[in-house]
Chain A
Amino acid sequence: MSVELQHAPVGGPPMVPSRHRVVAVTRELADTVTFELEPIDRALDPPEPGQFNMVYAFGQGEVPISVSGDPARGDTVVHTVRSVGATTQALCALGPGEVVGLRGPYGRGWDVERARGRDVVVIGGGIGFAPLRPIIYRILEDRQAYGRVNVLVGARSPETLLYRAELEEWRSRSDLSVEVTVDRAGPDWRGDVGVVTALITRATIDPAGTVAFLCGPEIMMRFAANTLTGRGVSPGDIEVSLERNMKCAVAQCGHCQLGPIFVCREGPVGTWERLQPLLAVRGL
């Protein structure tokens, strides 16, 4: 799959949502929930890591949410949602058996394919780790096809660390290096404290043979990408997920337009080489 941001085709099914039933709910954090959804009438096309669906809380509103589950498990769709406003709050209050509308998958995802034979660095911050999780599942399915894999995660505090049990499980594997850092911690926390860029500085990487995938607050991605390029990773080998408010998800409404690109269609994923100049424009 290509992540070149120009001339991307409009993808995905029409604007009509397909009803999905909540089959499992996992409360991840005080404000964050993971759902497993199964189709009632029509299944969506299988998503690529990094793609998103428009999730409709009936009677409330529709919001873009990345796919956070294992792409190989095509029977259900998994989303991790953080409650920040009316729609996400309604989604986070759903229980098993309740119904939402889904349309998608939309957008350009992570180009995991091009990382084959190379080292991989996955860098996530806060809820930004959710869209990265499918990359790790995909790599683990075919682990020998990739070189060294570093997973670097930042969170505000240990209490806000997403997928903590799974991170522990991955940390115990010899074929993954998992490092976690938090901004602040009490005396019980035995891990690192500090910004995620410090983890990048310490990671063992071969810059020329590395592909990096970044998702988190824009400010975090900026500093992380700069640290990676400072270590010699090419801006064209750094993929970031750029997320802007979007409404239609099919490049019609213009809500998510960033200069010459529609993030819903040409993104959300793009290379740092292409996106950095756009992000450097204040007010865009």
Chain B
Amino acid sequence: MKGIRELLAEHPVFADLPEGDLDLIAGCGVNVHFDEGEQIFEEGGPADTFYVIRHGRVALDVHAPGRGSLVVATLRDGDVVGWSWLFPPYRWSLGARATAETSAIALDGACLRGKCDDDTALGYRLMQRFARIAQERLLQTRLQLLDVYGNPVGDGHVG
């Protein structure tokens, strides 16, 4: 069976990191598995771990009183789940639930934060990756908010 380091080296987010970085990050990781329907973390809960999905599907949700949990995004193989571990107060801003059998690497956020403080070059490279993920998700969220399928504005344009 492959070790955490090898698995990280195959993951799109970590693949091109220097060997030394991969060793350091792998030291904070363990393999985990979630059954379909299993809650991975709850909105507002302590964000001390994040996940890189190897196989499966994870839904990010927000609890809306009277409306149940609303799914705002789904993540799949090769995606990273969670960045709240990076910033105080280290609390999840969304919930996460596996919507299919999911295998992932769980990384200990506190462990990794400590390593980033000790090795700022590692911290910088990791931060670049997370900033990029955050930027992509922000753009996607903005597109979702535009409600483009429902109400095109201006010149008629539907198909």
Contacts and interface: CB of A to CB of B under 8 A. Distances in A.
Interface of A: 66, 82, 84, 124-131, 154-156, 160, 181, 183-187, 189-195, 197-198, 202, 215-220, 223, 241, 243-245
A217 B157 contact: yes
14 contacts: A82-B158, A125-B149, A129-B159, A183-B144, A184-B70, A184-B72, A186-B68, A190-B99, A192-B74, A194-B144, A195-B140, A195-B143, A202-B77, A217-B152
Nearest to A220: B148
Interface string B122-159: 00000000000000000010011011111010011111
B156 to A, nearest CB: 5
B73 interface: yes
Nearest to A219: B148
Nearest to A161: B149
Contacts of A195: 140, 143-144
Contacts of B70: 184-187
Nearest to A125: B149
A155 B144 CA distance: 10
B80 interface: no
Contacts of A186: 67-68, 70-71
A215 B157 CA distance: 10
A202 B76 contact: yes
B73 A194 contact: yes
A39 B74 CA distance: 46
Contacts of A82: 158
Contacts of B149: 125-127, 154-156, 160, 183, 216-217, 220
Nearest to B73: A194
A245 B67 CA distance: 39
A190 B74 CA distance: 10
A156 B150 contact: yes
Interface string B50-85: 000000010101000001111111101110000000
B56 to A, nearest CB: 13
Contacts of B159: 66, 124, 126-131, 215-216, 241, 243
B140 A197 contact: yes
B73 A217 contact: no
B157 A244 contact: yes
